[in-house]
Chain A
């Protein structure tokens, strides 16, 4: 698993270096624990929360709600954090979430060229590609080229807007609702909303298409 990961991302870790990293990480945790800075069980709980509680399902619920409830959509575009705070079933969200709407005229895409800023509460931890050099370097200069890497293409004259997350503001793309979903429930619609469609590197699934 780890070897695949390293190979895939062209890092030059060989197996022994990875083991050395593991040893160093363990040593650091031992020191932090022995000095009374952290409780290992609290670290376990953080990890468990990131693995189970946060994820793109949170963002998908928000998008599906916006597709079915015009008043919520208007509130969401006005103040993302405040609007999401009114939904009991979605995990709480911190301040300064800005929701940006895709339209037939404009496609939005989110990047963090300086590090890896990402709306964790809505989408979970970012995928490796979002944090890696190819995406961070090229998204602001050649977003259509980046989209081609995802097999996504936009009409030639469509405006493409790239949001570089350079502060503590976080951005979530509100994709366009797929055609053929009239009368669908929020729960059904949420199933169509992909993580990448909320970053702007993909579209929602369309009804009947293989997932």
Chain B
């Protein structure tokens, strides 16, 4: 979707301000939110792409004015309600009132913690040979799905070069909508800065994205 989360190339957000000696969390609730998202995801309530999509669907003014973990919290709460793991009434009451919905991987308990500290695997067997080779010229499609996609707006319509082939991976556009993993070939595609940003762009800049095959046309 063409949301405010797709920020590459936007102006006006000001300077990058690093915080010296930044703590891991700025408040206890941030840590609880991170842990709940990780736990409920690992328990099978949602996949990582669906959780990203719920954050992207926050209204733009909410997205832009909420801190990072606030966005995580708002996305989590909405997603768990819509997927039937809890109800609005329970949220309002602050207590469980309905029977639980079964989780695909069961309750998240202490024995599960170690396994989630290593990233999941997203590579899958290929259903068809790769369409593109390293070195090929490709054009990022001019597509504007209203659902989840990982093709940022700033590259759409532009020509780049395939630099790496990462193999076949879970396709976020399908997984986020719970339409299955629909694995697709994944490539690093590199663009000239001036192709993206015009003649005034930095001539020394090259930008790459990781692009799934359905995002690309031969060029």
Contacts and interface: CB of A to CB of B under 8 A. Distances in A.
8 contacts: A13-B67, A24-B77, A37-B108, A39-B107, A39-B110, A137-B7, A166-B151, A166-B211
Contacts of A162: 205-208
Interface in A123-154: 124-125, 127-129, 131-144, 146, 149-150
B123 interface: yes
A168 B91 CA distance: 32
Contact of B15 (A49, A114, A140, A149): A149
Contacts of A88: none
B217 interface: no
Interface string B75-102: 0110000000110001100111000100
Contact of A32 (B40, B68, B70, B190): B40
A96 interface: yes
A42 B186 contact: no
Nearest to B166: A169
Contacts of B205: 143, 159-162
B8 A129 contact: no
Contacts of A31: 86, 90-91, 94-96
A46 interface: yes
**Which bucket holds chain A's interface residue count?**
35 or more
A140 B91 contact: no
A51 B32 contact: no
B113 A45 contact: yes
Contacts of B19: 5, 8, 127-129
B66 to A, nearest CB: 7
Contacts of B38: 46
A71 interface: no
Contacts of A169: 166, 186, 188, 210
Interface of B: 5-11, 13-19, 22-29, 31-36, 38-40, 43, 45, 48, 52, 55, 64-68, 70, 73, 76-77, 85-86, 90-91, 94-96, 100, 103, 107-110, 112-113, 116-123, 150-152, 154, 164, 166, 169-170, 172, 186, 188, 190, 196-197, 201-202, 204-212
B143 to A, nearest CB: 14
Interface string A1-25: 1100110111111000010011011
A84 to B, nearest CB: 11
Given A94-B119, A140-B8, A27 B17 contact: no
Interface in A47-71: 47, 49-51, 53-54
A7 B43 CA distance: 36
Nearest to A46: B35
Contact of A47 (B10, B31, B152): B31
A28 interface: yes
B67 A140 contact: no
Contacts of A150: 16, 18
Contacts of B14: 10, 134
A35 interface: yes
A209 interface: no
Nearest to A53: B117
Contact of B55 (A12, A32, A47, A115): A115
Nearest to B65: A12
Contacts of A149: 15-18
A22 B204 contact: no
A50 B90 CA distance: 30
